[in-house]
Amino acid sequence: MTPVRLRDVTLRDGLQLTGKLLGTDTKVELARALLDSGIDALEIGAMARPDKVPPMANTLEVIAALTPEELQRCWVWTATPRGVTRAIEAGARNVEYCLSVSDQHNYANVGRTTEQSMAALPEAVDFAAVAGARLQLSLATAFTCPYRGMVDPQRVVDLVSDSRTADIPSVVLCDTLGQATPQQVRKLVKRVRDVTPEREIVFHGHDTWGLGVANTLAAIQVGASMVDGALGGLGGCPFAPGASGNTSTEDLLFALQPPWLTPPIFAGVVTAGGRLLDELGEENRSRAAQGARSTVDAFPWVS
């Protein structure tokens, strides 16, 4: 199995649908707790319009509060060259450029067609290269679209094969609605790996239909080397009706059990997730977090 890194996306995708806003200090405190735990990378915010996605309004302040060393492990979501520029000028070193494979979702999400987003991509690539920042191509609705249903896998292949993406070293395949199955995930990740073997493949899954962990493991088995999760299964896309929370970070940690993870570290992550969801008034969907609170304490992962 390919060595895999975990990226926690709580502070971006996880917060998008929450009604309660988190202050900059709270976000920075959580980011540092997750980084200190050993989690490889974080999404810390998005260059999204505050009137459209209010929880992302203080992203620039979060970037400014983190150290350059911390920012080396943090990612910021963008959808336009201007967003890439603003994030990097604020100090971000890793930036995602997101577009949807589905035209309908791309228009609902960022107000333009997929081709219009692709046409703007070279400007973002050039700016990131000049600034010495890493740029990642994130493909939302890579499996299904809330407006059109199933997405043709060839559309994904065409996007990653497009010459305008040639200089981007990694691509994120997003099961935005959590409707994919492990077989579908394996097939698409393998096709993308075969077409662009030099690229890092990231899998971003949601757990809407209960297959978040299974889909993530399927992606890893065929070449994904980074996977996304959010504390307590928090999150969803405000422009994708029917989408629910991300695959839980706690569930992924328990399933993957990376070498740095110990029961005390796991307990700390579970505690951080529980506190956050309590503060937000959100349901904790993590099954591993529930298991960790079991009264059967013979199992070392029970805290």
| Alpha-carbon gap, residue 252 to 88, rounded angstroms | 30
pLDDT grade for 2, boundaries at 50, 70 and 90: low
pLDDT attached to residue 238 = 65
182-195 and 153-161 helices, crossing angle to 10°:
30
DSSP category for residue 175: E
Backbone angles phi, psi at 244, to 5 degrees: -120, -155
SS3 of residue 69 by DSSP: helix
237 is catalytic: yes
Structure tokens at 112: 């333009």
The alpha carbon of 20 is separated from its chain's Cα centroid by a whole number of angstroms, namely 20
pLDDT attached to residue 112: 95
User: In this model, does residue 241 exceed pLDDT 70?
Assistant: no
pLDDT at 71 over 60: yes
Report the mean per-residue pLDDT for the chain.
95
The pLDDT value given to residue 295: 84
Q: Model-level pTM?
A: 0.96
**Which residues are bridge partners to 137 per DSSP?**
97, 171
Helix-then-strand count for the chain, H and E: 12, 10
**Would you state the structure tokens that stand for residue 83, as one six-digit string?**
């967003």
Name the band, by pLDDT with cuts 50, 70 and 90, for residue 188.
Answer: very high
In total, the chain counts a number of residues equal to 303
Reported as a single tens digit per residue, the pLDDT across 130-181 is 999 999 999 999 999 999 999 999 999 999 999 999 999 999 999 999 999 9
pLDDT band at 302 (very low <50, low <70, confident <90, very high): very high
1-11 average pLDDT score: 87
Residue in 147, 145, 146, 156 with CA at minimum distance from that of residue 187: 156
Note the pLDDT of residue 298. Answer: 87
- DSSP letter assigned to residue 232: G
Helix (H) or strand (E) holding 78: strand 74-78
Contact status, residue 46 vs residue 56, Cβ threshold 8 Å: yes
Find which of 11-25, 31-45, 48-62, 228-242 is predicted with most confidence, using mean pLDDT: 31-45
